[in-house]
Amino acid sequence: MTELIREKCVACRKDAPRVTDAEIEELKPQVPNWTIVERDGIPRLERVFRFQDFAEALAFTFKVGELAEAEDHHPSVLTEWGRVTVTWWTHKIRGLHRNDFIMAAKTDEIAVSVPLSDSI
């Protein structure tokens, strides 16, 4: 597993710096299954996890919610039959922060403990 899972999110201020392109080049390989997408002019980390049914998808969603509460950093989560889309970004800075990569890595760790069908 990546070193990022050992890190803890730090409280983010509105003036906190976004990750630089160089930092993204360093961090992105540690969460290789995540894609950087842009919505509403805001870059975000996103991954789709696939499951056998709705119950598995819901169990994963619940674990991601527990992680978000523990770290006080909250994603967008879309739970559907057989799949969950998780999107991380830092709302206060309207972009990506190191915290988002930490949370993506921790989400991947959760996925290891939940049965997945071909994750994208």
The answer to whether position 9 is within a domain reads no
The answer to whether position 38 is within a domain reads yes
What residue numbers bound the domain in which 26 lies? 17-113
**Residue 54 sits in a domain of what CATH number?**
3.30.1360.20
Long-range contacts at 12-17 (CB < 8 A, ≥ 24 apart): 12/73, 12/90, 12/92, 12/93, 12/97, 12/99, 13/92, 14/92, 14/93, 16/90, 16/92, 16/93, 16/97, 17/93, 17/97
The answer to whether position 119 is within a domain reads no
**pLDDT score of 8:** 86
The answer to whether position 92 is within a domain reads yes
For residue 118, is pLDDT > 70? no
Domain count, the chain: 1
Give the pTM. Answer: 0.91
For residue 40, is pLDDT > 80? yes
pLDDT, one tens digit per residue, over 51-85 is: 999 999 999 999 999 999 999 999 999 999 999 99
